[in-house]
A and B are shown apart, each in its own frame.
Chain A
Amino acid sequence: MAVTETVPRSEALPITIRRVTKTYGQVFALDHVDLDVKSGEFLTLLGPSGSGKTTLLMALAGFTRPDHGSVSFGDTEVVRMPPHKRDVGMVFQNYALFPHMTVAANVAFPLKLRKVAKAEARERAERALETVQLGGYGERQIDQLSGGQRQRVALARAIVFEPRILLMDEPLSALDKKLREHMQIELRHLHEQLGMTTVYVTHDQREALTMSDRIAVINHGRLMQLDEPRRLYDRPANRFVADFIGEGTFLPVELSNGSAAYAGTPLKLAEAVNETAAQELLLRPERLSVLAGAAEPEVNVFAGKVKELVFQGESFLMYAALADGAEVAVRGATNRDVMERIPAVGADVHLGLHRDDTVLVAAGED
Chain B
Amino acid sequence: MRNWLNAPASETQITHGQRLWLYVLAGIIMILLVAPTVIVIPMSFSASQYLEFPPREWSTRWYDHYFASAEWMSATWTSLTVGTLTMLVATPLGVMAAYGLHVSNFRYAQFIFITLITPMMVPIVLIGIGVFYVYVQLRLVNTILGITLAHSILAIPLVVIVVGAALKTYDMNQERVARSLGATRLYAFLAITLPQIRFSVITAALLAFITSFDEVVIAMFISGGDNSTLTRSMFNALRDQIDPTIASISTIMVLVSTTLLVASQIFGKDKGK
Chains A and B in contact, CB within 8 Å: yes
- Chain A positions within 8 Å of B, measured between CB atoms, are 61-63, 82-84, 86-90, 92-94, 96-100, 109-110, 113-114, 143, 154, 157-158, 161, 167
Interface residues as binary, B184-200 with A (CB distance below 8 Å gives 1, 0 otherwise): 11011000100110000
Interface residue B36 (Cβ < 8 Å from any Cβ of A): no
Q: Would you call B174 and A113 a contact (CB within 8 A)?
A: no
Q: Tell which of B2-10, B54-62, B154-162, B175-183 binds the partner.
A: B175-183
Interface residue B171 (Cβ < 8 Å from any Cβ of A): yes
Which residues of the partner chain A approach B178 to less than 8 Å between Cβ atoms? 98, 109
Q: How many A-B residue pairs have CB under 8 A?
A: 68
Interface residue B123 (Cβ < 8 Å from any Cβ of A): no
Interface residue B137 (Cβ < 8 Å from any Cβ of A): no
Nearest CB to that of A86 among chain B residues? B180
CA distance A323 to B16 in the complex (A): 70
Contact partner of B196 (CB less than 8 A), chosen from A63, A100, A167, is A100
Interface residue B49 (Cβ < 8 Å from any Cβ of A): no
Contact partner of B174 (CB less than 8 A), chosen from A82, A84, A88, A96, is A96
Which residues of the partner chain A approach B188 to less than 8 Å between Cβ atoms? 84
CA distance A94 to B173 in the complex (A): 8
Q: Would you call A99 and B176 a contact (CB within 8 A)?
A: no
Please name 17 pairs of A and B residues whose Cβ atoms are closer than 8 Å in the assembled complex, sorted by A: A63-B176, A82-B184, A84-B179, A84-B180, A84-B183, A84-B184, A89-B181, A92-B176, A92-B177, A94-B171, A96-B173, A96-B177, A99-B196, A113-B181, A113-B182, A113-B187, A114-B182
CA distance A214 to B173 in the complex (A): 27
Which residues of the partner chain A approach B174 to less than 8 Å between Cβ atoms? 96-98
Given contacts A96-B174, A98-B174, are A90 and B180 in contact (CB under 8 A)?
yes
Nearest CB to that of A169 among chain B residues? B173
Which residues of the partner chain A approach B196 to less than 8 Å between Cβ atoms? 98-100
CA distance A89 to B179 in the complex (A): 10
Given contacts A83-B180, A84-B180, 17 further A-B contacts (CB under 8 A): A61-B176, A62-B179, A63-B176, A82-B185, A84-B179, A84-B183, A87-B182, A88-B180, A90-B177, A93-B173, A94-B173, A96-B174, A97-B174, A98-B178, A98-B196, A100-B195, A109-B181
Q: Would you call B182 and A161 a contact (CB within 8 A)?
A: yes
Q: Would you call B272 and A99 a contact (CB within 8 A)?
A: yes
Interface centre among A87, A93, A98, A158 (most CB of B within 10 A): A98
CA distance A85 to B182 in the complex (A): 6
Interface residues as binary, B137-161 with A (CB distance below 8 Å gives 1, 0 otherwise): 0000000000000000000000000
CA distance A169 to B261 in the complex (A): 42
Interface centre among B178, B181, B187 (most CB of A within 10 A): B181
Interface residues as binary, B206-249 with A (CB distance below 8 Å gives 1, 0 otherwise): 00000000000000000000000000000000000000000000
CA distance A89 to B180 in the complex (A): 7
CA distance A167 to B192 in the complex (A): 21
Q: Would you call A92 and B173 a contact (CB within 8 A)?
A: yes
CA distance A97 to B178 in the complex (A): 9
Contact partner of A110 (CB less than 8 A), chosen from B171, B176, B182, is B182
CA distance A157 to B181 in the complex (A): 8
- A62 to B: closest C-beta gap in Å: 7
- B106 to A: closest C-beta gap in Å: 13
- A128 to B: closest C-beta gap in Å: 12
Nearest CB to that of A100 among chain B residues? B195
Q: Would you call B187 and A83 a contact (CB within 8 A)?
A: no
Interface centre among B174, B180, B192, B196 (most CB of A within 10 A): B180
Q: Would you call B177 and A113 a contact (CB within 8 A)?
A: no
- B222 to A: closest C-beta gap in Å: 42
CA distance A109 to B180 in the complex (A): 11
Q: Would you call B173 and A84 a contact (CB within 8 A)?
A: no
Interface centre among B177, B182, B183 (most CB of A within 10 A): B177
Q: Would you call A110 and B181 a contact (CB within 8 A)?
A: yes
Which residues of the partner chain B approach A99 to less than 8 Å between Cβ atoms? 196, 272
Nearest CB to that of A93 among chain B residues? B173
- B265 to A: closest C-beta gap in Å: 20
Which residues of the partner chain B approach A92 to less than 8 Å between Cβ atoms? 173, 176-177
Q: Would you call B195 and A83 a contact (CB within 8 A)?
A: no
- B228 to A: closest C-beta gap in Å: 44
Which residues of the partner chain B approach A86 to less than 8 Å between Cβ atoms? 180
- A59 to B: closest C-beta gap in Å: 13
Nearest CB to that of B176 among chain A residues? A63
Q: Would you call B183 and A98 a contact (CB within 8 A)?
A: no
CA distance A114 to B179 in the complex (A): 12
